A and B are shown apart, each in its own frame.
Chain A
Amino acid sequence: MLSILLARFQQKYRTMAWPAGPAPALPARLAGRPRLDRTACQQCGTCAAACPVGAITCQEGLTLDTGRCLFCRACERACSRQAIQFTQEYRLGAAAREALLVRDAAAAYPPALVEKARAYFGRSLKLRQVSAGGCNACEADTNVLSTVAWDLGRFGIQFVASPRHADGLFITGPVSANMRLALEKTYAAVPDPKIVIACGACAIAGGPYAGHPEVHDGASAVVPVDLFIPGCPPHPLTILDALLRFVGQVPEE
């Protein structure tokens, strides 16, 4: 008993102050939302050729799809004119698929608020997670939100064991063909009104597996998606920020 109390004393209080206080320190080398400089771009196509997943087009103005992006920085290294630079901006989640396209430096980050989600689930959101071909990185960094450091429960958000207890699905992975049936059944088991969140490059557009006949190129092929959270995997702060803006617990600036 005394040793437990001593350990408790040593381990300290660790729940972060964010969003009321400062955000936790992000790694200096984090690849967050990319900033594009169309004036620097000469439309040479080097970046598009370097991208392993076809996330970049530059013929009609440089555009990067953060929904497809693996944040591997291959484009940043390939461009000799620094037209693409990954920033520390962690706010990547978006309510609309088109909002994941980055075209220029104008918008700081995409909007994630969904009025239906705020009205129904603003104070309590129960989610059933389904991994459908996910590699366990998105899953791991979602799991982390339930630890004491992030304490997801303080926002009334919780991952639950049954779809019948849930308000929506939280999907990771490109939706492997072998998981399609299970995903459809789990979605059908969630009572209305319900929402769907696609977390990670795979769940948004197939990630590295886009185009494989063994997968469905993301959750949208099977169920309607209300929130997209880019990354490979997204940083836990990116996931939490997207969830909180989605239900209106953190206001859009």
Chain B
Amino acid sequence: MNFLQIANSTATDLARIPELVFDDFAAELTAAIAAGARLSALFGTPRSAGGAELYAVLAAEAESALFLGRTTVGASYPALTPACPQAHLFERDLAESCGLTPVGHPWCKPLRFLDAARRDPTPGTPPCGVMDFFQIAGDAIHEVAVGPVHAGIIEPGHFRFQCHGETVYHLEISLGYQHRGMERALRGGPTPRSIHYAETLAGDTTIGHTSAYCTICETLSRQRVPARAQALRGIAQELERLANHIGDLGALAGDVGFLPTQAYCGRIRGDALNMTALLCGNRFGRGLLRPGGCTADLSAADVAELARRLTQLRRDCTSAIELLFHSPSVLSRFEETGTLSRETCETIGLVGPAARACGVARDVRHDFPYGIFRFAQLPVCTWESGDVFARAYVRWLEIQKSLAFVAEQLPALPGGATASATAAAPLAANQLAIALVEGWRGEICHAALTDADGRFACYKIYDPSFHNWFGLACALRNQEISDFPLCNKSFNLSYCGHDL
């Protein structure tokens, strides 16, 4: 392996990253992925002479090792996707954001419709969502188009189903409607707005993405985060996981018409959000994390109040969720619906609960521990069946682990300050910083390149949804189209986290 081994939450001098000729880069990357590694990031920076410099981050979970490599390509290069399906969306991103042509890419369509995403697009530019959808031909084949505006209070996206009767043969998902120019605006930063981009990148994952952003800044400015702040960040992250997992189980119950759990979990989710609000005033944790630590602290009375609410939360959600899993009518709808095999999961590189529900023990907190998770280990929860039941049940297992984690941390909070006493140094120049965080949907990866002045020359963001949307499309194959809402909710992916 000629890639450079690095640790999570570190910055690497650009000069230290081995530069491979493209053929070697492609061969090593493909071989590593065939041997079990996963593509966490693959991005490019355009070169003034044309073409681009490509960087890849490989996550080898079995060895708890990250590998970094780079190469240079011209305006067109042989696509990696045919030999390495995980590169599929990464290469569509390269084509769109760097203007490269991955020759031989089987599915090189727009990813976020960047040409259309302007107040004043060039006349004649096709609007977002207009592209060459995969179609099945035949007498009784029909096509169902859904979105971008959906029936509920949900973000926009477009789904195109190829059906024969009630059976879905193929689902193609076309996103980009939420594009707000996030990565473009982060270039040249940090600015006072940068942290607010992280906080609103995917609103339900404020803590996850803001942790990753803060880690990037802290590693680049060699700022130390006090132990108490690390514990508070860990608590906030698990509260975010609790709120979302509880809400998801309620919504899954609603999608199969099991109203008791839907009603209870909808409310209990709010109790978890209110615990985050006790920390910082905002139910989503906005304003809590800043590079160097946390803006808020917990008094002894706050700790006691949080512990009291946590006990109540455990009691309420246990009653509501056990009801769900003890109902045969619910289980018959959850089991063997939207099944993904472990093989598919590993081929396309799923992350988070969706991967763990296929029996893959993959969790950044365990594989590449950061912050408080270096000292307080959470067991990885898996289930084998790969169906809606597994994705629901893994959430319930994780709820129990997160409840236990917060209960363990609260009385054991380290003393001291919650923010670094020293002002942040400027960011180091010519570095590549990587931060992986286990958000509630799975692996969040932020990668930042700094220029000679210590500004962000490139800031790449991979929400877990980036990896998992394709998993949803695969899970729908040979399913009844009426099971789409249930399958969709069992993944519950972010649109803006994908569209940026």
Identify the A interface with B (CB < 8 A): 3-4, 6-8, 10-11, 14, 27-31, 50-53, 70-74, 129-144, 146-149, 159, 161-163, 173-174, 176-179, 181-182, 186, 202, 207-209, 212-216, 232-233, 235-236
Given contacts A8-B260, A177-B117, contact A134 B496 (CB under 8 A): yes
Task: Identify whether the interface residues of B are mostly helix, strand, loop, or mixed.
Answer: loop
Provide the bound-state CA to CA distance between A130 and B156, in Å. 8
Contact across chains for A135 and B203 when beta carbons are under 8 A apart: yes
Q: List which B119-159 residues lie within 8 A (CB) of chain A.
A: 119-121, 127-128, 148-149, 151-156
Provide the bound-state CA to CA distance between A232 and B203, in Å. 10
B58 to chain A, nearest CB (A): 30
Across the interface, name the chain A residue whose C-beta is closest to B274.
A27
Contact across chains for A208 and B200 when beta carbons are under 8 A apart: yes
Name the residue in A70, A131, A232 with the highest tally of chain B Cβ atoms < 10 Å from its Cβ: A131
Q: A11-B264, A176-B180 are in contact. List 15 more A-B contacts (CB 8 A).
A: A27-B277, A31-B281, A130-B156, A133-B496, A134-B496, A135-B200, A137-B203, A138-B203, A139-B203, A148-B264, A161-B151, A178-B178, A182-B149, A209-B185, A214-B179
Provide the bound-state CA to CA distance between A236 and B247, in Å. 16
A239 to chain B, nearest CB (A): 11
Across the interface, name the chain B residue whose C-beta is closest to A72.
B287
Contact across chains for B204 and A137 when beta carbons are under 8 A apart: yes
Contact across chains for B200 and A232 when beta carbons are under 8 A apart: yes
Q: Is B283 an interface residue (CB 8 A)?
A: yes
Contact across chains for A176 and B117 when beta carbons are under 8 A apart: yes
Provide the bound-state CA to CA distance between A166 and B151, in Å. 12
* A-B CB proximity, top 4 nearest: A137-B203, A29-B281, A135-B203, A214-B181
Q: Which residues of the other chain, A, contact B195 by a CB distance below 8 angstroms?
A: 52
Given contacts A30-B281, A136-B203, A137-B204, contact A148 B266 (CB under 8 A): yes
Q: Which residues of the other chain, A, contact B201 by a CB distance below 8 angstroms?
A: 135
Q: Is B7 an interface residue (CB 8 A)?
A: no
Interface membership of chain B positions 191-210, coded 1 if the CB is closer than 8 angstroms to chain A and 0 otherwise = 11101110111111010000
Interface membership of chain B positions 277-311, coded 1 if the CB is closer than 8 angstroms to chain A and 0 otherwise = 11111111011000000011000000000000000
Given contacts A10-B319, A27-B281, A136-B496, contact A215 B180 (CB under 8 A): yes
Q: Which residues of the other chain, A, contact B260 by a CB distance below 8 angstroms?
A: 4, 7-8
Contact across chains for A74 and B192 when beta carbons are under 8 A apart: yes
Contact across chains for A209 and B181 when beta carbons are under 8 A apart: yes
Q: Which residues of the other chain, A, contact B112 by a CB distance below 8 angstroms?
A: 178
A5 to chain B, nearest CB (A): 10
Q: Which of A71, A134, A233 contacts B155 (CB 8 A)?
A: A134
Q: Is B90 an interface residue (CB 8 A)?
A: no
Q: Is B188 an interface residue (CB 8 A)?
A: no
Across the interface, name the chain B residue whose C-beta is closest to A149.
B267
Given contacts A186-B149, A233-B203, contact A136 B192 (CB under 8 A): no
A84 to chain B, nearest CB (A): 15
Provide the bound-state CA to CA distance between A155 and B445, in Å. 43
Contact across chains for B177 and A176 when beta carbons are under 8 A apart: yes
Q: Which residues of the other chain, B, contact A74 by a CB distance below 8 angstroms?
A: 192
Contact across chains for A179 and B116 when beta carbons are under 8 A apart: no
Q: Which residues of the other chain, A, contact B266 by a CB distance below 8 angstroms?
A: 144, 146-149
A189 to chain B, nearest CB (A): 9
Identify the B interface with A (CB < 8 A): 112-113, 116-121, 127-128, 148-149, 151-156, 176-181, 184-185, 191-193, 195-197, 199-204, 206, 247, 260, 263-264, 266-267, 269-270, 274, 277-284, 286-287, 295-296, 315-316, 319-320, 322-323, 326, 494-496, 499
Contact across chains for B113 and A178 when beta carbons are under 8 A apart: yes
Q: What are 8 pairs between A and B in contact, CB < 8 Å?
A: A10-B316, A133-B496, A135-B203, A136-B202, A137-B200, A179-B128, A186-B149, A208-B199
Q: Which residues of the other chain, B, contact A174 by a CB distance below 8 angstroms?
A: 180
B19 to chain A, nearest CB (A): 33
Name the residue in B192, B193, B270, B282 with the highest tally of chain A Cβ atoms < 10 Å from its Cβ: B282
Contact across chains for B181 and A136 when beta carbons are under 8 A apart: no
Contact across chains for A177 and B270 when beta carbons are under 8 A apart: no
Contact across chains for A213 and B118 when beta carbons are under 8 A apart: yes
Contact across chains for B153 and A142 when beta carbons are under 8 A apart: yes
Q: Which residues of the other chain, A, contact B281 by a CB distance below 8 angstroms?
A: 27-31
Contact across chains for B192 and A147 when beta carbons are under 8 A apart: no
Q: Which residues of the other chain, A, contact B277 by a CB distance below 8 angstroms?
A: 27, 29-30
Given contacts A73-B287, A131-B154, A215-B181, contact A11 B319 (CB under 8 A): yes
Contact across chains for A212 and B181 when beta carbons are under 8 A apart: yes
Across the interface, name the chain B residue whose C-beta is closest to A77.
B295
Q: Which residues of the other chain, A, contact B280 by a CB distance below 8 angstroms?
A: 29
Q: Which of B267, B287, B495 contacts A14 (CB 8 A)?
A: B267
